[in-house]
């Protein structure tokens, strides 16, 4: 029973998957998420969600929140930044570019 409990606790760590894979100790990756036909803009907005130990996850990492943070009305492209440290702490940041 102790082994099953330990397995359940360790399976819900604060990790983020990436196209490049995950680092056991540290993951820090930026990936392209979306592109539109709108011209490259001068404004940049960000939104973020945070996860601690896979137990508490909070935040709004939506494209809408990131666009609103910079007053972007026409999105040109979207990137995401994923960071995780030892499966203890992770962040997911959406970065929106546009005008």
The answer to whether the CB of 79 falls within 8 A of the CB of 95 is yes
Contacts of residue 66, defined as CB under 8 A and 6 or more positions apart, other chains included, come to 45, 46, 47, 72, 78, 94, 95, 96
How sure is the predictor about 4, in pLDDT bands with cuts at 50, 70 and 90? low
Span 50-59, mean pLDDT?
Answer: 93
pLDDT at 52: 94
- pLDDT at position 12 over 70: no
Report pLDDT digits (tens) over 63-73.
Answer: 999 999 999 99
Give the span between the Cα atoms of 80 and 63, in whole angstroms: 10
Query: Considering only 4-18, 50-64, 84-98, which range has the smallest mean pLDDT?
Result: 4-18
Is the distance from CB of 59 to CB of 69 less than 8 angstroms? no
What global pTM score does this model have?
0.80
């Amino acid at each position: 029973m102790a082994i099953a409990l330990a397995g359940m606790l360790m399976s819900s760590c604060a990790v983020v998957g990436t196209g490049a894979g995950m680092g056991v100790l540290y993951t820090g990756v930026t990936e392209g998420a979306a592109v539109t036909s709108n011209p490259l803009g001068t404004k940049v907005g960000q939104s973020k969600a945070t996860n601690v130990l896979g137990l508490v996850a909070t935040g709004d990492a939506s494209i809408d929140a990131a666009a609103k943070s910079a007053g972007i009305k026409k999105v040109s492209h979207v990137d995401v930044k994923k960071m995780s440290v030892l499966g203890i702490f992770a962040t997911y940041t959406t970065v929106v570019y546009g005008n």
